Amino acid sequence: MFQSFTIKNFRCFRELTLAPLERINLIAGKNNTGKTALLEAIHLHCHPNDCNLPLDINKDRGIEEPVKDLWKVAGWLFHDQSSGKDFELSSRDEHGAERTLKVRLTDRLDAAEILSERERLELATHAPYFLNHAPYLVLGYQKGGEGWVHSIAAPSSPGVGLMSVSARAAESIPCRFLSVSSSAVSSDVENFGSLEAAKRQGEILPALQLLEPRLQRLSLVPFAGKPVIHGDLQGIDRLIPMPLMGEGVRRVMSIVLSIATVPSGVLLLDEVETGLHHSVMVQVWQAIAEAARRADVQVFATTHSYECIQAAQQAFQAQESPGLRLFRLDWIGDEIRVAVYKQEILNFAIEMTHEVR
């Protein structure tokens, strides 16, 4: 698990550090304080080989310019669009291992120095457009005192996607981003199918049973010609499609399925309370905590809701060991700063009805 995470020159952040981190990390703050950008930064940091991911996170926000205009498209990733300077994402884990990802837009000469002679020859033969057009998106990754590992990307031909060339494969961390706009139904089926193939489908039941105690098992059953997850409820003689059990149960199923499919990794949840009534949020947080503990997953979740924060505090207050930390982002002058609430401080703030969103 990450113990600290630092962002420099990314999106709205000039520099920001979150520390110390917990198993469950709740990110609060007003609109436009960088909550989603923070999740995007962690997502990029976990996938240092994926040259297309920086552009994919822009697409999720509706920014989808032609790839050939890389200066314009990728420029939005840098603080104040200052793409002449790297953005840097770094972390330290519970074992003391430090990881750093640096991303920059650069010219042909700079990019060519990173490529090996063999890679330059292969590109000259198979993708001359790559060598003759700038800018290049360069991802540099370092773990501990090891050498830097680079991946480079640029348009492979006019109007076509990015082509990436890796000097060496960098270490990726299992990570899943569950955004508000994520297509949950198809992803749920795929995730459940993976668990079922590994005979691990029972792992998600304890979390779901906190919301629906009658649930005995889950199964993939054809419905209108497509596989659909069904639930077996005690006392009902037919399996019920999970989408018909209500938005709350389906949303929690998506979350716990995502957790189960990134063991020893990271789950990023944008607006965690979406589709959930405040009256069930304590059980939701208990379900998330149970699933995260079982899979050894670290969770980062954003919220606008005071009820959501209060429910998290109540759910974790009942646990023997702490596992929750709240980080509130605020604009202070022209920079975003973070206020950290460890569990005992959050308990006091909630009791005193202090504003912590």
Contact 210, 283 (CB under 8 A): yes
pTM of model > 0.75: yes
H, E, C per residue of 118-178: HHHHHHHHHCHHHHHCCCEEEEEEEECCCCCEEEEEEECCCCCCEEEEECCCCCCCCEEEE
Q: Distance between CA atoms of 196 and 190, rounded to whole angstroms?
A: 10
Contact 91, 8 (CB under 8 A): no
| Cα angle 250, 255, 261; round to 5 | 120
| Cα angle 72, 336, 2; round to 5 | 90
Least-confidence region, from 97-101, 194-198, 225-229, 243-247? 243-247
pLDDT at residue 103, as a whole number: 92
pLDDT at residue 302, as a whole number: 96
Nearest partner of 37 among 325, 339, 254, 268, judged by Cα: 268
* pLDDT per position as a tens digit, 312-357: 988 888 766 668 999 999 999 999 999 998 877 776 566 656 666 5
Contacts with 69 (C-beta within 8 Å, 6 or more apart), sequence order: none
Q: How many residues does the chain have?
A: 357
Phi, psi (5° rounding) for residue 229? -70, 130
* pLDDT per position as a tens digit, 69-84: 677 778 889 988 776 7
